[in-house]
Chain A
């Protein structure tokens, strides 16, 4: 089963490498991995989509926790969450198909961000399965190039009690 795991790590030299090489060293799967800053400058947030039996996922979480630079590991699977991915897709068009592609783009609430005499570039955001669906439809037109950002995810906001701000750590 697929799991989306959020990892808060010290924003430090080599922290990403530690996580990535731990995955390869232990033979764990990575579907996608993304990293970026958080609201606290010293902390980065990684979102990792991985797959495996429960026993494996349990090890993944434990091994992530074991890394010294790891501050917090949250398996978001099964929690209410917002998941998004961004894809840039350059697709070939011909006479007549340009309108079709533009139409598809609209259906998926995407944007056309580039065009030349042969290709259109679409920008699509959404949950990963939506991106899969777009790719699926566009495939018949001929995809020249594609870049996907990997998933980022956050737990859906619970009501905060009073004005207390949630602090990390």
Chain B
């Protein structure tokens, strides 16, 4: 006798699948094409749906949640405008390899291509910004497609996956069976690095006189930070990190050189310039890191560990590639070492660079500065908070002055550089992380890009410290205008148009503060950090025209580094 399995609707299958993927949160916004899903959602109790106020917010929330927890972030939106609003967040997740799955409603299959109401070819639109995407054309394929989507998003080099769900597919019924394994002949990420290559790499690092570890976000994503610490600490190796790598190695440790690249520390960039062996771990030689490619670590033997073969030899040709999961490769590398190499001379040089050109800013003129605020936050949270930045000057100051001690603690939009990232991403992080302070830091410009999500934070009483560094300018653009565009401050001055941020906060029911004096910083931060019944908003009115130093202008080398504003007297 054949016992047939129960038949479920597409909508029921959808939630059954999410249950099996252990999804606990969805960030979403309803609309016509997904009404059936929302009808079912009404009775679903195993997950929480967070109503956002703009679909871009949903994708950044999913990113924040995914980056902070390592789990897959999930988004559900309607067709057409709902779907197109997710595009920026998807592109952001693609550039920074964040595992999210975005479900979009779609018009019924028989109307696809008809310019139907709220139709958009979202699969076509997102092809180049997703790791993969699917249009589900038959309810029989729904379960296996969802399984694949989560698998692809979270394995190998993680990334966003979009699943487009036509209305009729969600409405029709079919037997439900969730596959427990998935086989895709076209997708088999390399996990283990090549043994001989790893051995060879270890031999070369052992013999190096001036080795340097160059650590990217891959180390954090693969959870390889313990292995990194082991390798670095046991062998006294210097470590520099990319923007996405910050936190992979404690920045309070003497062996941390801080960030490298355009706004990196002088000593990290000198170390890159002078090292004889450069070991890139889950980093991709981005142009913000390398500057002039031909000169980047030009005397170094380059070893590149990455799970994505396309990253290897893309920007910089390396001597020894190792394709594999960074965590595994690091563990195997560490096991190859017996005794620590003697690097006294190399450390002497590095420490000399440290002294030559430390990070510094004006502290004695009584004015409020971003660097000071960030140093204070770092101190008060002992480098253990989850700090989510936006894009611009404040972002670079955070990377310089916040001493991250933990992985998954520095969340920022690196690859795409998306203003408006911080607030929604901090909401996602706050849903995932309950035992550490969540600190969102934005500029006055970027803060206004997803300002609507203040509601989401307030409604859910998330204890986020929402910090606005208000310099009354689109600061980073102003800086480039001053340095490279003849001081034409074209459309970057916001002082006449900025809203009253405290009133904005209060309108959303959020406890809000503002100050422009350094002496108030301590007390406001203390009060904010001890308040956990909901978000707090703090506007710090800082000096208007500060610049981020050091800076290596785009496409140049450490020799062209600028460490301070040119004194007009020196300019003659």
Interface residues of B in 146-202 (CB under 8 A from A): 152, 184-187
Interface residues of A in 1-26 (CB under 8 A from B): 9-10, 13-14, 17-18, 21-22, 25
Q: Do A14 and B135 contact each other (CB < 8 Å), given the known contacts A58-B313, A65-B309?
A: yes
Q: A146 contacts the other chain (Cβ, under 8 Å)? A: no
Which B residue's beta carbon lies closest to that of A10?
A: B186
Q: A169 contacts the other chain (Cβ, under 8 Å)? A: yes
Q: Do A62 and B187 contact each other (CB < 8 Å), given the known contacts A13-B135, A21-B128, A22-B128?
A: no
Does B123 contact A68, Cβ atoms closer than 8 Å? no
Q: Do A62 and B186 contact each other (CB < 8 Å), given the known contacts A21-B127, A21-B128?
A: no
If A17-B127, A69-B186, A71-B186 are given as contacts, then 5 extra A-B residue pairs at C-beta distance below 8 Å, sorted by A number, are A17-B124, A55-B313, A55-B317, A63-B310, A68-B186
Does B314 contact A59, Cβ atoms closer than 8 Å? yes
Interface residues of A in 45-88 (CB under 8 A from B): 55, 58-59, 62-63, 65-71
Does B152 contact A68, Cβ atoms closer than 8 Å? yes
The DSSP consensus for interface residues of chain B is: loop
CB contacts (< 8 Å) of A13 on chain B: these are: 135, 137
Contact of B132 among A22, A25, A58, A68 (CB under 8 A): A68
Contact of B310 among A9, A10, A59, A71 (CB under 8 A): A59
CB distance from B69 to the nearest CB of A (A): 25
Contact of A66 among B123, B124, B128, B310 (CB under 8 A): B310
Q: A22 vs B129: C-alpha distance in the bound complex, in angstroms?
A: 10
**Which B residues fall within an 8 A CB radius of A?**
123-124, 127-128, 131-132, 135, 137, 152, 184-187, 308-310, 312-314, 317
CB contacts (< 8 Å) of A58 on chain B: these are: 313
CB contacts (< 8 Å) of A68 on chain B: these are: 131-132, 152, 184, 186-187
Which B residue's beta carbon lies closest to that of A63?
A: B310
CB contacts (< 8 Å) of B313 on chain A: these are: 55, 58-59
Which of B128, B131, B317 counts the most chain A CB atoms within 10 A? B128
**Which A residues fall within an 8 A CB radius of B?**
9-10, 13-14, 17-18, 21-22, 25, 55, 58-59, 62-63, 65-71, 169
Q: 26 A-B residue contacts at CB 8 Å? A: A13-B135, A13-B137, A14-B123, A14-B127, A17-B124, A17-B127, A21-B127, A21-B128, A22-B128, A25-B128, A55-B313, A55-B317, A59-B310, A59-B314, A62-B310, A63-B310, A65-B309, A66-B310, A67-B132, A67-B186, A68-B152, A68-B184, A68-B187, A71-B185, A71-B186, A169-B185
Q: A14 vs B112: C-alpha distance in the bound complex, in angstroms?
A: 14
CB contacts (< 8 Å) of A71 on chain B: these are: 185-186
CB contacts (< 8 Å) of B123 on chain A: these are: 14
The DSSP consensus for interface residues of chain A is: helix
Does A18 contact B127, Cβ atoms closer than 8 Å? yes
CB contacts (< 8 Å) of A14 on chain B: these are: 123, 127, 135
Which A residue's beta carbon lies closest to that of B127?
A: A21
Q: A104 vs B348: C-alpha distance in the bound complex, in angstroms?
A: 79
Does A62 contact B309, Cβ atoms closer than 8 Å? yes
Q: A30 vs B308: C-alpha distance in the bound complex, in angstroms?
A: 24
- Listed from nearest, the 8 A-B pairs whose CB atoms lie closest are A68-B132, A62-B310, A25-B128, A71-B186, A68-B187, A62-B309, A70-B186, A169-B185
CB contacts (< 8 Å) of A65 on chain B: these are: 309
CB contacts (< 8 Å) of B127 on chain A: these are: 14, 17-18, 21
Q: A14 vs B317: C-alpha distance in the bound complex, in angstroms?
A: 33
Q: A149 vs B63: C-alpha distance in the bound complex, in angstroms?
A: 45
Which B residue's beta carbon lies closest to that of A25?
A: B128
Q: A22 vs B310: C-alpha distance in the bound complex, in angstroms?
A: 13
Which A residue's beta carbon lies closest to that of B148?
A: A68
CB contacts (< 8 Å) of B132 on chain A: these are: 67-68
Q: A74 vs B186: C-alpha distance in the bound complex, in angstroms?
A: 14
CB contacts (< 8 Å) of A69 on chain B: these are: 186
Which of B124, B152, B310, B312 counts the most chain A CB atoms within 10 A? B310
Which B residue's beta carbon lies closest to that of A68?
A: B132
Q: A59 vs B313: C-alpha distance in the bound complex, in angstroms?
A: 8
Which B residue's beta carbon lies closest to that of A14?
A: B123
CB contacts (< 8 Å) of A22 on chain B: these are: 128
Which of B131, B135, B309 counts the most chain A CB atoms within 10 A? B309
Which A residue's beta carbon lies closest to that of B135?
A: A13
Q: A14 vs B310: C-alpha distance in the bound complex, in angstroms?
A: 22
CB distance from A156 to the nearest CB of B (A): 25
Q: A13 vs B137: C-alpha distance in the bound complex, in angstroms?
A: 10
Q: A51 vs B135: C-alpha distance in the bound complex, in angstroms?
A: 32
CB contacts (< 8 Å) of B309 on chain A: these are: 62, 65-66
Q: A17 vs B135: C-alpha distance in the bound complex, in angstroms?
A: 13
Which of A25, A67, A68, A169 counts the most chain B CB atoms within 10 A? A68
Q: A169 vs B188: C-alpha distance in the bound complex, in angstroms?
A: 12
CB contacts (< 8 Å) of B128 on chain A: these are: 21-22, 25
CB distance from A56 to the nearest CB of B (A): 10
CB contacts (< 8 Å) of A66 on chain B: these are: 308-310
CB distance from A55 to the nearest CB of B (A): 7
CB distance from B190 to the nearest CB of A (A): 11
CB contacts (< 8 Å) of B152 on chain A: these are: 68
Q: A10 vs B148: C-alpha distance in the bound complex, in angstroms?
A: 15
Q: A130 vs B374: C-alpha distance in the bound complex, in angstroms?
A: 69
Which of B185, B186, B313, B317 counts the most chain A CB atoms within 10 A? B186
CB distance from B324 to the nearest CB of A (A): 15
CB distance from B73 to the nearest CB of A (A): 20
CB distance from A73 to the nearest CB of B (A): 10
Q: A136 vs B94: C-alpha distance in the bound complex, in angstroms?
A: 47
Q: A7 vs B154: C-alpha distance in the bound complex, in angstroms?
A: 26
